[in-house]
A = this chain, B = another copy of it.
């Protein structure tokens, strides 16, 4: 979930300065509309790594909007008065009333997270805290609150660099404490706990929005635009009783992202491919025949645009496996029987027993990809799917499954070339339909959906593997290699 905040998001100063005046005006306008209508409160949670620019961004927001109707709370160590009451008391006290904006820089996540990173809280205890937080946020959403949770992240190197820079400048030296360096040394733990927390508490009504903190123009513009989008979305809604609708997913304001970053020029020549293919297939075959493998199962799913080479990659994997040990499930439109059940039912029915391998050609991610893009389900349905899918995969992993999720990426040009090749080849013609051409036109929507999907479902227990598939040989070997490595680590 944090991958997309390690790609080096930047906005150049000129763009920032060009966009800022309009953003400020719009934010102020939205703030006044919120105040006037007084239909709901807005709560911004600001969490993340030290030195990731949280404070600077909060200051920017305060500067951009009317600070009289916006309160910033830094609820970290409780006061004596607070200590004598239930933990949640201070959060209740600080809730913004309808019409106002509250920024919680230091909030209900802060202390449990730090305690877990320092090892003062066990995993099950953190879960109990998170469970209570979920109930609290559910109640807030039921009461109509708009809740945006920002997680500021930095790659490790960047955190170090920023801490050193702050320390070198006499004007900012005071901001870097011993505690910050102690936390920096716990970077790995912090990242793990953050992943777990984000996975468990990113709900449709109170989503986490991961922000890369490296570049301040990017960071501030991104948070400002996300806030503006969410305010406008809610303000435009008709006033109805009952719980609020979900805030929209954040806008993507630069061209840097985990897909764009993929190096599609990677190639493998035929000779190397023909040497490596049997090597990896042999390694996979041996791994899946090991006695220890019987305590596990493998669930490998393949997603990608049309003609990205999913089928070919799957065949190369299957060739290495014992025919009695695996099943391939091509996922198309659901059957009548499947339609009469909850969405994930059609995948649960194919969950493999221990010792077995299930390969999915397309998967449960259809809901947040094609079903989202083609409006085949409601927004509420695909928004809640992210956390349902995370729950599903957590259950799989806990039962011993090794879950591999491959996204095969090709350029639009390569896709076009393959489409034409398919049309020209008699035995491949069946593979290309008018639907494929239509999907091609929706590519920007798909890319957006893929980025949101990776942001919300790439977890430490079931990460997305983004594979450059421009060269089929390279992609197939990458898939086999990843499979072998993940199985080796797990068993």
A residues contacting B by CB (< 8 A) are 38, 41, 81, 84-89, 92-93, 95, 97-99, 124-125, 127-128, 131-132, 135-136, 139-140, 142-143, 145, 241-243, 337, 340-345, 348-349, 351-355, 378, 380-381, 384, 387-388, 391, 395-396, 398-399, 401
Contact = CB atoms under 8 A, between A and B. Distances in A.
Contacts of A395: 86-88
Contacts of A384: 139, 142
B345 A92 contact: yes
A239 to B, nearest CB: 13
A341 B94 CA distance: 11
B343 A99 contact: no
A127 B131 contact: yes
A344 B348 CA distance: 40
Given A86-B351, A139-B342, A242-B380, A337 B398 contact: no
A145 B345 CA distance: 13
B95 A342 contact: yes
A326 to B, nearest CB: 15
B391 A135 contact: yes
A348 B89 contact: yes
A136 B344 CA distance: 11
A85 to B, nearest CB: 5
Contacts of A143: 342-343
A99 B396 contact: no
Given A85-B399, A128-B128, 5 more contacts: A86-B351, A86-B401, A87-B399, A139-B384, A139-B388
Contacts of A388: 135, 139
A124 B135 contact: no
Contacts of A84: 353-355
Given A84-B354, A399-B85, A92 B124 contact: no
26 contacts: A84-B353, A84-B355, A85-B354, A85-B399, A86-B396, A86-B398, A88-B395, A89-B351, A95-B341, A95-B342, A95-B345, A97-B340, A97-B341, A124-B125, A131-B131, A132-B391, A135-B388, A139-B342, A139-B388, A139-B391, A142-B380, A142-B381, A142-B384, A143-B342, A145-B342, A241-B381
A355 B396 CA distance: 48
Contacts of A242: 378, 380
A86 to B, nearest CB: 4
Nearest to A143: B342
List the 3 closest A-B pairs by CB distance, nearest first. Answer: A97-B340, A84-B353, A86-B399
A279 to B, nearest CB: 31
A171 to B, nearest CB: 40
A459 to B, nearest CB: 15
A340 B391 contact: no
Most-contacted residue by chain B among A380, A398, A399 (CB, 10 A) = A399
